[in-house]
Structure 1
């Protein structure tokens, strides 16, 4: 692309190449974990080019690493308001896409909104110049979404880059044909870039923000469900104490009992991860941890919407949130209480005709309702993604989908649970080799 933009000709006998000093990196892992952004703004060309080169997804480090790569890709696009093309590269003679390639394509597509489809183009390398029928069939069978021409055929361009290889005699003629083929392919690609309407990244950012909010909600949900279960356990222990001391209650005598009381503590996290913790000081909850690795302060955090948190219980204003090297941790402690303490605690909560036992039952029911509300809220976030995302079958959701399926079954929502199970089966089938 850069040589084309600089107007390099075959007869120039010069070919510019990009070099990258990777002496301070580990070889194999670097190639699959770093995203490279090339900015090219030559005075000799009216075109300014920015290329984001995505790494390989699906390495042995698993779905968590893929999530990190996806977030890194989002960060790499910061400052860009629009994108002209997403280029999917494969060899012209391929007759099928490997499981890994399908997984990569799905992962990349899951980062964009549906409106990006007409900007996705196919680049076929190692081309002989003939129509790449086998590769096009493979793309069709893999259901890769891409731009189409006026004949409803995929938009593609052919290349055979061998200009860096030394050649003479017959090889030189072959290399010349390859040069011409690649030149025509690049000319066609740049003509496409000139005519295609660039797409704003707003919808794509909305998709990514929905992913982040979904994950943050589920992580928060898991913590709050555990806290509810701890509170439920405390209430049940209290009920047992009341049952065992009915005589004392009848005679209005105080008695002592022991329960496990839920509590929260602020604990230190690794200082290198301090920027990953966004916590609500009012709800005492971890609203975005881990994952909030780029936000400068709580107001910039992805879980904020209209200046309020989408995750914490009270949906507090961002000013009630802090970013520091600490997070909240749910724990329990054994505590001795007396019947007198219990009556004082519930005195203002008990209305006429409602007993202490009844009030405890009501609290348990309220906790169950809150759990149902949280589970449905997380499921609704998945529904929203299905409406706006180009490809919602991302491996990212697999990190937490089992927990959500289990909870949907517990609250008697079998249809919603089945919908998520179908998503899980589809993703696992497509990515079986990688996962």
Structure 2
């Protein structure tokens, strides 16, 4: 009766034969002020203990359909009911290789009388990894999850982290390995026992994906007999129109889903919640490491430019030393590194130091200048770790452009070079003394690179201690695996 009463309050969003698909009325919680996250509430909130499950997986794994099936189970929908409910409504205009969910969505389900559960349930739906929009979209997803974990109005603990995977995966392809690595890299080591494997597109036969999960050494909870703890579902059965009185395979899959939903929620209520404190530290450390890698690339490039500048200037000075000493107005071509403004791709905030004219963080997530002390470029004492003068965070602001450094060549006289590099007491210094000054500049640049390498090493060591997956699959490793996969499978065009 509970399902019928709810159906009377819902609108029809589509029909499949005689089956009506109903959109469940949800109330959006406007108090959740986390960028990239939304919260919807069903029913009246109660004082009973709440259980939280987070649903993660690759694009197309069936996460949203699984959540819809979960709600139908909770609301006591039966096989012979002429309707089904949806709380997650997919965008029909999106490609199948795009994640249907672009935001982290929290569903707070407060049961009514007659429902199959009597406790509040929070379900966190996340965007799929491995989206066709590329690695930047996946990075954005990780940032959304990080904000959900760290903001005061977000989520601080979970009972289960549900990894959704398709039953038919005999082995993990490079893309699948990348997806699992990306997901595991979010969490701390302490959540391993709270990971549950949810197998979709199950047909009641062997779940090949379990062998792939074992082979990939993916940490997850084990049953009492030591096997991977998993639950099977076939979401298609939930929304298949009943064409005849013959129940057939559809009913068999329906029963399979009901049984596993019952097992999953029973397991959930017997699981102790896990604080996300360590996972927050993992995300913070990983974000810091990503920033250090970006900064290292920039500093190495600057250092190489400086080295080339020194080399060219030194060769010119030595070749023309005699003539230069005779003629103070003799001009030589000198390479310089100059700064200019560049408009980047949209999507990030650019943290620039106003005193140094230096971009300290080109992919910052902090929109408010008054909160720049939280930027990963800032040290605990409030000073910047990047800009040349190590300025205070209050000297840093978001701007629409970033500062980039380019090498230009200009002709200068020996007298100009002396004024630039030597003080008045060295006005008659030889060429070698001038070169010493240039080398000092390079050594300073080299020291900056070494400092960043030390910080990156420290971050990696910390991740090894606390992260479920210390080092995820790098972009280059991912591309290498894709190339190797193409060679192995010999698909058309593999040798191109």
| TM-score of the pair, normalised by structure 2 | 0.68
Native 8 Å contact 2:303 2:442 kept in 1: no
Which residue of structure 2 aligns with residue 115 of structure 1? 190
Q: Any residues of structure 2 matched to 1:64-213 within 5 Å, and which?
A: 64-75=136-147, 79-92=154-167, 95-125=170-200, 127=202, 132=206, 134-161=208-235, 162-165=237-240, 166=242, 168-171=244-247, 178-213=253-288
* SS of aligned partner of 1:330: strand
**Aligned residue pairs, count:** 402
Matched residues in 1 for 2:425 and 2:271: separation? Answer: 65
- Alpha-carbon spacing, 1:257–1:50, altered in 2? closer, same or farther (3 Å): same
The runs of 5 or more residues in structure 1 that have no matched partner are: 400-423
Native 8 Å contact 2:174 2:481 kept in 1: no
Which residue of structure 2 aligns with residue 3 of structure 1? 72
1:216 CA drift (Å): 2.3
- Alpha-carbon spacing, 1:104–1:398, altered in 2? closer, same or farther (3 Å): closer
1:321 CA drift (Å): 1.4
Bigger helix share: 1
- Alpha-carbon spacing, 1:257–1:33, altered in 2? closer, same or farther (3 Å): farther
Q: Give 1:42's match in structure 2, choosing from 103, 110, 121.
A: 110
1:57 CA drift (Å): 0.9
Deviates further, 65-74 or 247-256: 247-256
- Alpha-carbon spacing, 1:28–1:91, altered in 2? closer, same or farther (3 Å): closer
Matched residues in 2 for 1:89 and 1:210: separation? Answer: 26
Native 8 Å contact 2:313 2:335 kept in 1: no
Native 8 Å contact 1:94 1:134 kept in 2: yes
Matched residues in 2 for 1:156 and 1:200: separation? Answer: 22
- Alpha-carbon spacing, 1:18–1:304, altered in 2? closer, same or farther (3 Å): same
RMSD: 3.9
Say whether residues 1:331 and 2:331 are aligned partners: no
Which residue of structure 2 aligns with residue 55 of structure 1? 128
Q: Give 1:347's match in structure 2, choosing from 415, 418, 423.
A: 423
Native 8 Å contact 2:91 2:100 kept in 1: no
- Alpha-carbon spacing, 1:328–1:7, altered in 2? closer, same or farther (3 Å): same
CA displacement 1:112-132 (0-9 Å, x = unmatched): 2222211111123455667x5
* SS of aligned partner of 1:16: strand
1:328 CA drift (Å): 0.3
* SS of aligned partner of 1:67: helix
Native 8 Å contact 1:5 1:47 kept in 2: no
CA displacement 1:269-314 (0-9 Å, x = unmatched): 46x55x431123344332222x324543333434445244444455
